[in-house]
Amino acid sequence: MKTIIYIIQKEFKQIFRNKGMLPIIFVLPLLQLVILSNAATFEVKNIKFGYVDMDHTTTSRALIEKFNASTYFNVLTDFSSERLASSAMLKGEVDVLLEIPNYFERDLYKEKYNRLGVTINAIDGAAAGVENVYVTQIIQRFNSNLKVDLLKPSDKQVQPTRIETIPLFWYNQTLNYKTFMVPGILVLLVTMITLFLSGMNIVREKEIGTLEQINVTPIKKSQFIIGKLFPFWVIGMGLLTIGLIIAKLIFNVPMLGSLPLMYFYTSIYILVVLGIGLFISNFTDTQQQAMFIAWFFTVIFILMSGLFTPIESMPKWAQILTEFNPIKYFVEVMRMVMLKGSGFMDILPQLLKTLLYAIIMNGLAVWSYKKTT
């Protein structure tokens, strides 16, 4: 036990002696949490909106005013022709174009039917889908109000039936995207820092030549690995603590569940990450190699974790692959505990899978580490 403690002390001294490493461990993750949580949003705002009004009536102007009053649209200009509007769309000056045809108001009052043309820049398919929803909602609301105005005087005694829906939003009543994203970004930072540091740790010993010196000492393989990885386990838990404080103070993310449960799961999850980092370091000779390999797997894990895109929307083969993704389970647990107040039995499936992952990865890491005496 004393040997392990001495190794841990040596590792902490080595970490804090490196002045360039301290900002990477403590400062950059906090800045990333604040910046990414504000930048990573599913909302689409400041949509550049243009229109071609061929009717120039009070009804067409009322429809344009609905878009002008929306906080999502930035109404730029009235194009005099479809050719000019299409040219602006081609140049990227406009995201959404609304075309109001001739006799729009007349046909509505006479035929009670008309069509509008909507053109959306769909280079970004996800943003285009959101913009289409915004446009449709505004037009539908305008249409429902217009139906009441178009009733004939003889029909006004029979008012149309209006059904009002009252939505109830669970777990995120304000529909604030930060409530959804902050727990995921926190998972991302804890994973990246612990994986990169543990992956480069033993490789650094190889580069400076101290690993050979340690290998010829009576230190056992298990003592060496525990002593090397424990400091990064502590750093990972510390990053979680600081991240939770920032999530509460800056973003006001609700924490409905048990904090001890969150820490208990995180302590096991970090063992998974440390095992992966050690396994990578055993097969690399330089810190650059370790960094590139760790980054390669991290990008795949992040993109297939459900952090930014729902797993249910992925192809079936991708959904099967996510079952081997430890980040997926951490993201699910953090959101379940923080936002839903889930208990131990609720996260038990993710906990058991993560525990099995930790045993396998650390077993492979210890097996692949070659110590010569």
pLDDT in the model for residue 263: 94
Q: Is the confidence at residue 157, as pLDDT, over 60?
A: no
Q: Is the confidence at residue 329, as pLDDT, over 80?
A: yes
Grade residue 285 by pLDDT with cuts at 50, 70 and 90.
confident
Cβ neighbour number for residue 164 with a 10 Å cutoff:
4
Strand partners, 117: 99
Which has more confidence, 165 or 348? Answer: 348
User: Buried b / exposed e across 278-312, counting CB within 10 Å, b at 16+?
Assistant: bbbbbebeebebbbebbeeebeebbebbbbeeebe
Q: Once rounded to an integer, what is the mean pLDDT over residues 156-172?
A: 59
Bridge-based pairing of strands 73-78 and 47-53 is parallel
Lowest mean pLDDT among 43-47, 66-70, 137-141, 170-174: 170-174
What's the chain's average pLDDT? Answer: 82
Cβ neighbour number for residue 46 with a 10 Å cutoff:
10
| 96-100 β-sheet, strand order | 73-78, 47-53, 96-100, 117-120
Length of the chain: 373
Domains of the chain: 2-40+174-368 (no CATH), 47-155 (3.40.1710.10)
Q: Once rounded to an integer, what is the mean pLDDT over residues 195-215?
A: 75
Lowest mean pLDDT among 21-35, 181-195, 257-271: 21-35
Q: How far apart are CA 156 and CA 6, in angstroms?
A: 88
Which has more confidence, 371 or 172? Answer: 172
Task: Answer for the pair 20, 27: CB distance below 8 angstroms, yes or no.
Answer: no
pLDDT in the model for residue 272: 93
Strand partners, 77: 50
Task: Answer for the pair 275, 362: CB distance below 8 angstroms, yes or no.
Answer: yes
Grade residue 193 by pLDDT with cuts at 50, 70 and 90.
confident
Q: Is the confidence at residue 205, as pLDDT, over 80?
A: no
Phi-psi region at 46: left, alpha or beta (left = phi > 0; alpha = psi -120 to 50): left
Q: How far apart are CA 334 and CA 307, in angstroms?
A: 11
Q: Is the confidence at residue 213, as pLDDT, over 50?
A: yes
pLDDT in the model for residue 328: 92
Which has more confidence, 167 or 122? Answer: 122
Bridge-based pairing of strands 96-100 and 117-120 is antiparallel
Task: Answer for the pair 270, 197: CB distance below 8 angstroms, yes or no.
Answer: no
pLDDT in the model for residue 373: 47
Task: Answer for the pair 73, 36: CB distance below 8 angstroms, yes or no.
Answer: no
Residue 120, CB half-sphere, CA atoms under 13 Å: how many? 17
**pTM of the shown model:** 0.78
**What backbone torsions phi and psi does residue 51 show, to the nearest 5 degrees?**
-150, 155
